[in-house]
Structure 1
Amino acid sequence: MRLISTKILRAGMTLGNTIYNVNERPLLHAHVTLTEQMIKRLHLLNVQYVYIDDERSRGIDIEETVPSSIRHQTIKEMQMAFELVKSPNKNNISAMLEKKTQAIQSTLKNIMAEMNSNKDLLMILSDAYLYDSYIFHHSFNVTLYTLAIGKQLKLPNIQLEYLGMGAMLHDIGKIMVDEQILMKSTPLTEEEFLEIQKHASNGFEILRNLHNVSLLSAHCAFQHHERIDGSGYPRGLKGPDIHPYAKIIAVADVFDACTSNRVYREKMLPSDALDILQDGSGTLFDPTVIKAFTQSIAIYPNGLSVGLNDGRKGIVARQNTGMSARPVIRVVEENGRLLTATYELDLSLNPESAISATDIDFSTETVH
């Protein structure tokens, strides 16, 4: 399979991965042959990339680190917990929320078990999901990125649980923000931005009163928008005063925000989002956290079309653990010509070769 822009989809191409609708049900199943009507529908839904299965990418496997069944269950539990916060009936809300956070803790342990059994670089197929509420999918993705960083930093299991809960619930305060502000596609006014900033403090107040949520986890909600140069919010804390968990979630949060569709801009590819993090390394973000992040996630996911520094083009075929910038490439073009017989180039064994560009508009195929 390979990842391509929906701009170059043509009728007759074969969809590689199932795409889920906003209700977590399959919209289009894997292996379906795309029609013009299906492609128009994807454009209307603002789907930017899809995985297709074609001759040159056949055999390239693309699987999420955590199965979609666990994603669906976790998001369902988070949605029920978050909705309690805005319930008009405030009686016993803490008791009910504690029950829901127990269910979230259970799904967190399932996620951790899946990640412990998978030794490959973390891969999230965000292109496979459409959603009407950004918060829940975002919180799930941030949890995966956060746990991957924590594992790379060799945090013990109990700390990973506190960190994971903090990541899952880091945006719970947003449920108290006017949805029209959250979903606004034009620039925010100063008043609207101040309103959104309240979600960090609101989230902390909600979580710190729950007996089964660690105060450390609550501080993840409080501090995930703080920046080490003091330019963050809500308190403008500087490096040493920001909790290490919050520094981890800050990186995961920004990366997922950049690589997800938002109402005010299109998503970026992982490598472009990483550039933004690197630009802020040492000023906004902790360099140690960024280094751990790059060692644990697939910056160039399997199936991504890339250009090499010598002019060759290819498709990312496999990952090299701990070397996310140097995967194995299936070379499909040399000297401007498509190859009849492709071959693999392991960038970890060829230091003179490097990825110089990504190209989701790269078309290699005849339709079958």
Structure 2
Amino acid sequence: MRLLPIGMCQPGMRLGKSIYNEEGIVLLGRHVELTQPLLERLGRYGIDFLYIDDPRTEDVEVSDLLSDETRLQAMRTIRGNFRKVVEETTKRSSFQSFLGKEFGKLISMLIDDLSSSKAAMIMLTNMQLRDHYLYQHSLNVCIYSTMLGLYHGYSRDELAVLGLGAILHDVGKVHVPLDILRKPGKLTDDEFDSMKQHTDIGFKLLKDEPNIPLQAAHCAYQHHERINGSGYPRGLKGEDIHEYARWIGIADSYDAMTTSRVYRQAMLPHQALERLYAGSDSLYDQDKVEIFRDKIAIYPIGVTVKLNTGESGVVVDLNSTFPQRPIVRILQNETGEELTSPYEIDLSKKLNLVVTSVFDSKVQIEQ
């Protein structure tokens, strides 16, 4: 299979991976044949990329970090409990006990799945529906943060707190007006002030919750703080920001940049990583950005790339010690002609070759 922008997908192509709705239920199953109406509908939903079957890459499989059972449970837990927060906030006596129990069980499932994964950290393909960005974003940030915590060497108990803080970091947004959350243009100063209140709201919702550690509440409060003091809500600097919140701040920024929103298209992963580099040691801890850099595959398996030689192909495997230098199966020569005998290049062994672009528009898929 291979990953393509939806704008390059054509009727007659077949899905290489299923697409899930906001509850984690399959919306379109693997191998479904795409039609023009389906493509247009997916585009309206804000789905930017699709995994597509291709005979030349039929041996390429993209592993999921989570089992189907865990993913389904995660989306149901996030969706159900975030909605319940809205319903129960005014009835504090009945609100106090459900978040810790529900999310504690889920975080344990997530840690089990992520701990057993043998793959390098890969791009989470954001195929979620745009209207339900908050739910999928919360899960993505939790996955990224927990994976980073695993690589950093946190204990299971520490991972549980980090995971809780990550999955609930944006819970305060349930009380931000929808017309602000979904505004297609730039926010006014007053609207941005309203948006920033989600950190205070989230902290107040979580700080007295049974089974929610205070550190997790501080993750909701501090994930927009930056080490140079330019963040909010308090303008904290350096180590005054909780370490977990600094991890979550990186994951939150990266996922936001690589996800399509109503007001902008998603960045490609390497573009978002460059933004993190630019903020290294001013906005984010440099050592944490370096771990993120070393563990995320900015050219994930299945993505189409073009090399400085003019050749184009598909990433078919990763080098775990050098994820920025993947193995590429060359499908087109430097003039754009399809090769009858594709071959593979390991970029970790050919340092004179570099990726110059992603998703070359000339690439076609054999039907």
TM-score bin, normalised by smaller chain: over 0.9
- In structure 2, the partner of 1:59 is 59
Query: What is the aligned partner in structure 2 of residue 351 from structure 1?
Result: 351
Alignment partner, residue 214 of structure 2:
215
For residues 249-328 of structure 1, what are the structure 2 equivalents within 5 Å? 249-328=248-327
CA distance in 2, matches of 1:355, 1:324: 13
Judge conservation of contact 2:181–2:195 (CA < 8 Å) in 1. Answer: yes
- Within-5 A mapping of 1:55-134: 55-87=55-87, 90-93=90-93, 96-134=95-133
- Contact 1:122 1:148 (8 Å CA) reproduced: yes
Deviations 1:287-314 (A, max 9, x none): 1111111222221111101112332211
CA contact (8 A) 1:85 1:176 kept: no
In the alignment, which residue of structure 2 is the partner of 1:18?
18
- Residue identity opposite 2:60 in structure 1: I
* RMSD of Structure 2 on Structure 1 (CA): 1.8
Question: What displacement does 1:317 show?
Answer: 0.4
- Partners of 2:73 and 2:96 lie apart in 1 by 17
Alpha-carbon spacing, 1:292–1:34, altered in 2? closer, same or farther (3 Å):
same
Q: CA deviation at 1:202?
A: 1.4
Over residues 32-70 of structure 1, what are the superposed CA-to-partner deviations in whole Å (9 max), with x where a residue is unaligned? 222233223323333222111112222111132112431
Q: Give distance in 2, aligned partners of 1:209 and 1:356.
A: 51
Letter in 1 for 2:65: T
- 2:15 and 2:258 map into 1 onto residues whose CA distance is 21
Q: For 1:266-307, what per-residue CA distance to the aligned partner results, in whole angstroms no more than 9, with x for missing partners?
A: 111211111111111111111111111122222111110111
Of 159-168 and 47-56, more deviation after overlay is shown by 47-56
In the alignment, the residues of structure 1 paired with residue 259 and residue 346 of structure 2 have an alpha-carbon distance, to the nearest angstrom, of: 29
Equivalent-residue separation in structure 2 for 1:210 and 1:262 (angstroms): 31
Partner letter of residue 102 of structure 2? Answer: A
TM-score, L = length of structure 2: 0.94
Name the SS of the counterpart of 2:272 in structure 1.
helix
- The answer on whether the counterparts of 1:17 and 1:31 sit within 8 Å (CA) in structure 2 is yes
1:343 corresponds to which letter in structure 2?
Y
Taking every aligned residue pair, what percent have the same amino acid on both sides? 36
Higher relative contact order (CA 8 A, sep 6+): 1
- 2: CA distance between counterparts of 1:42 and 1:90? 37
Secondary structure of the residue that 2:61 maps to in structure 1? Answer: coil
- Corresponding position of 1:363: 363
1 CA distance for matches of 2:362 and 2:101?
A: 46
For residues 290 and 305 of structure 1, what CA distance do their matches in structure 2 show? 25
Residues 24-63 of structure 1 mapped to structure 2, 5 A cutoff: 24-63=24-63
Query: What residue number does 1:198 align with?
Result: 197
Tell me which moved more, 16-25 or 133-142. Answer: 16-25
Deviations 1:144-193 (A, max 9, x none): 11011111211222111111110011111111111111111111111111
User: Does the CA contact (< 8 Å) of 2:23 and 2:72 recur in 1?
Assistant: no
2:172 maps to which residue?
A: 173
SS at match of 1:14: coil
* TM-score computed with the length of structure 1 as normaliser: 0.94
Q: Secondary structure at the match of 1:254?
A: helix
Q: 1:175 to 1:46 in 2, by over 3 A?
A: closer
What's the offset of the Cα at 1:79?
Answer: 2.3
Cα distance change, pair 234–324 in 1 and its aligned pair in 2 (3 A): same
Structure 2 stretches lacking a partner, 5+ long: none
Q: Distance in 2 between matches of 1:112 and 1:194?
A: 35
